[in-house]
Structure 1
Amino acid sequence: MTGASQPVPQLGDPRHSGKRPPSYAPVPQGLRSAGEDPAAAVLPDIVVDGAAYGPLTVRAASVRGDSHRYLGEPRQDALCVTRIGGPDTGELLLLAVADGVGSAARSHVGSNEVCRHAAVYLDRVAGDLLGALRSEDLPAFTALANEAVGNIAVLLADLAHREGHRPEAYATTLRILLVPLDPAVRTRGFMAVGDGGTALLRSGAWHLDVTQEEDPEASGMIDTRTAALPLARTAVTRLLGPAAPGDVLVLSTDGLSTPLSGDQGMREFLSGAWGTGTVPGPADFLWQSQFRVKSYDDDRSVVVLWECLA
């Protein structure tokens, strides 16, 4: 070979809102000791995933928060991108994020366990779930969701007892989006325990919580408590749709949903990154999803679904 090597393009540090970036370094730092907590020690700082089925494309990322990196604490978030069902029952994408409760000592285990249990249990009832979505039967979907959440809660509590901990030590939220692979079914199923975000980017405009229903009896008070598995045994459910070509659904933990709702710079950046009609590659998506906003240093997990792009 002859001639000088060409410089390799680099994305560099993630973009940030405002004139100055947050003070924490935007890179992995301290690690947990394997002797101290093996479950935490083997958790990666960053997870990137994705999938593509016909007109559906998925990108996903989970990143340890700045404060957890600085303190050498594990990422408490988890995510899941998988397929449930089969040729006989019909197939669905299962997209999930889980946010381990910060004060719960084993929540990094709980968040990963609930994602795994959700995939296993919902696979068994995939045909019934698809039938409920096809007929837009919310009561049937809700019954299936509550059965799943109850099953997951029991399994997580059993794990806690086997490992000698109280169940609340594994406390975690869980948010799931079920997407039929049959293009004729345009309804998507949502189930959740606890907080987080489910936003829609449509025609360049953000709809920041498409799963939130207005409560005419609301007092205006904000309840800062959040439901969490394994103590919670019921799910919030919604049927979303019909999905339109070009829709971008964003399922996330509050590490992304909270700054997204509060920071215009973040909304503008992610609209430009995800709402232009093209899907970013996994590495670009990871970089984009780490857009930084001061005072928001929690773990961040996000699964994005692009619908029917040309």
Structure 2
Amino acid sequence: MSGPAYDGGFRDAHDDRGHTAAAVDPDGLDAHIAGLPYGVMARETITRVPEAPVPPAPPAPPTPEGPQPYAEPEAEPLRGVPAHVGNRPPSYPPHPLGRPSVRDTEDALAAFSPVVLLDGAHIGRLTVRAASVRGDSHNWEGSCRQDAMTVTRIGPPEAEMLLLAVADGVGSAVYSHVGSYELSRRAAVFLDREAESIHAAVCARDENELRVLATKAVAGAAAELRAAWAQAAQHRPRPYADQDYATTLHVLLIPTDPGIRDRVLCSVGDGGLFVLREGGWEHGDPDDGAGLLDTRTEALPHAYRSVKATLVRTMPGEVLLLGTDGITNPLTQKDPEFARRLAEAWGGPEVPSLSDFLWQAQTRAKSYDDDRTVICVWEERA
């Protein structure tokens, strides 16, 4: 460290930190230092630089009086087994058991199909919750879920529609799970090709034109899939047969334009649409099936005569329920408790979360142990 040059005497000087040292008598200082033992310097002979004042520490925050007890975080209650209606729960256990093996079946889809599918969407004023659940009987047998569902959008922006589809594979058909999975998706592709014409027919409220367009789209999807399945069967010991892939299909088309109040239900087979109005479930078909085809015998890909297309007018605040017969059948049973529970769960002011919706959709009813697929739509009020 460098210091001021010595010129034979002491004078006011600055140390390397810029502090000024006080002037002292050099003769008296030398004499004093000379009288000290070697290596010892009196502390009072060193000129010290005054340190800068330390600012006072901020006051500590006030401590609450008395010890504070540790609060355990509140644990969310577990929902546990889905609720059931009636005096006794169904005989089947309420959870999945076995499942198909890759080696036990010719079709890989059965081995890899999940027990539960859960989906949802929020588009404009529309909110969707969707669940497809393997039924109690299939859980017990360890067989695959034969239901399928699709949630998507079709059409250009000026003619956009929300498409919801549910398919229920016929229980006795060996590849019905393939039929329901493929037809619910392929039908959406073919309906998208007709989306502008369908949208125009909805605006015109032309049910005859809607029936023609829906039949064209569904028939096209079925024909394409039948050709593919027939070709694949050439490499299997089992020949192709329509009844092996038999499934029902219901498609609900909802224009995303809130000014259009009509929806289109396209149906082949049992199951269908319900509307929750003023706390009660109403069948979505205004004619309640009167004078229409006997849908109990209708199935895709071939055993059907035409697609039933129905216009359904709804208002904001009403809840639409599209489902397979695993949920529509108990909705129409003589004991109203099942319908009442779902009306209370889905007719409230708040749309349920995905997990809540799944738990509610699994409400059990004795003798109703089929696969269950349900899609609900809520529309906000303006």
When the two structures are superposed, what TM-score results if normalisation uses the length of structure 1? 0.92
Match of 1:14, SS state, is: coil
1:22 Cα deviation from its structure 2 partner:
0.6
The change in CA–CA distance for 1:283 and 1:46 in structure 2 (over 3 A counts) is same
1:116 Cα deviation from its structure 2 partner:
1.1
Question: Does the 8 Å contact 1:277/1:309 carry over to 2?
Answer: no
Counterpart pick for 2:317 among 225, 240, 246: 246
Aligned length: 303
Aligned to 2:195: 126
- Write the deviation string for residues 132-168 of structure 1: whole angstroms up to 9, x where unpaired: 1111111111110010121122122113212313121
1:131 Cα deviation from its structure 2 partner:
0.9
Counterpart pick for 2:257 among 167, 178, 182: 182
Separation in 1 of the partners of 2:271 and 2:225? Answer: 20
The change in CA–CA distance for 1:309 and 1:280 in structure 2 (over 3 A counts) is farther
Aligned to 1:277: 349
Separation in 1 of the partners of 2:121 and 2:295? Answer: 35
1:226 Cα deviation from its structure 2 partner:
2.2
1:162-241 equivalences in 2 (<5 Å): 162-164=231-233, 165-213=240-288, 215=290, 225-231=296-302, 232-241=304-313
- Write the deviation string for residues 42-65 of structure 1: whole angstroms up to 9, x where unpaired: 111000111111211111100001
Match of 1:10, SS state, is: coil
Aligned to 1:255: 326
Matched AA of 2:352: P
The change in CA–CA distance for 1:113 and 1:29 in structure 2 (over 3 A counts) is same
Separation in 2 of the partners of 1:79 and 1:309? Answer: 27
Match of 2:370, SS state, is: coil
1:284 Cα deviation from its structure 2 partner:
0.3
1:252 Cα deviation from its structure 2 partner:
0.5
Question: Does the 8 Å contact 1:149/1:234 carry over to 2?
Answer: no
1:214 Cα deviation from its structure 2 partner:
5.7
Counterpart pick for 1:86 among 156, 176, 184: 156
Higher relative contact order (CA 8 A, sep 6+): 1
Matched, 1:16 2:84: yes
Separation in 1 of the partners of 2:112 and 2:305? Answer: 29
Moved more, 54-63 or 7-16: 7-16
Aligned to 2:48: none
Question: Does the 8 Å contact 2:170/2:176 carry over to 1?
Answer: yes
Aligned to 1:117: 186
Same amino acid, percent of matched pairs:
48
When the two structures are superposed, what TM-score results if normalisation uses the length of structure 2? 0.76
Question: Does the 8 Å contact 1:160/1:170 carry over to 2?
Answer: no
1:264-303 equivalences in 2 (<5 Å): 264-303=336-375
Gaps of 5+ in 2: 1-69, 234-239
Question: Does the 8 Å contact 2:253/2:265 carry over to 1?
Answer: yes
Matched AA of 2:96: P
The change in CA–CA distance for 1:170 and 1:179 in structure 2 (over 3 A counts) is same
Question: Does the 8 Å contact 2:268/2:295 carry over to 1?
Answer: no
CA-atom RMSD, angstroms? 1.9
Separation in 1 of the partners of 2:228 and 2:156? Answer: 29
Separation in 2 of the partners of 1:239 and 1:7? Answer: 47
The change in CA–CA distance for 1:143 and 1:273 in structure 2 (over 3 A counts) is same
Larger Rg computed on CA atoms = 2
Question: Does the 8 Å contact 1:14/1:290 carry over to 2?
Answer: yes
Runs of 4+ in 1 over 6 A off after TM superposition: none
The change in CA–CA distance for 1:24 and 1:171 in structure 2 (over 3 A counts) is same
Matched AA of 1:42: F
Separation in 1 of the partners of 2:213 and 2:272? Answer: 22
- Write the deviation string for residues 81-117 of structure 1: whole angstroms up to 9, x where unpaired: 1011122x42100001000000000000000000110
Separation in 2 of the partners of 1:297 and 1:111? Answer: 18
1:127 Cα deviation from its structure 2 partner:
1.0
1:59-70 equivalences in 2 (<5 Å): 59-70=129-140
The change in CA–CA distance for 1:174 and 1:11 in structure 2 (over 3 A counts) is same
Matched AA of 1:121: F
Matched, 1:25 2:97: no
Gaps of 5+ in 1: none
1:225 Cα deviation from its structure 2 partner:
3.8
- Write the deviation string for residues 20-75 of structure 1: whole angstroms up to 9, x where unpaired: 21111111211100122311011110001111112111111000011111111010
Aligned to 1:150: 219
The change in CA–CA distance for 1:211 and 1:106 in structure 2 (over 3 A counts) is farther
Matched AA of 1:261: T
The change in CA–CA distance for 1:126 and 1:305 in structure 2 (over 3 A counts) is same
Matched AA of 2:271: G
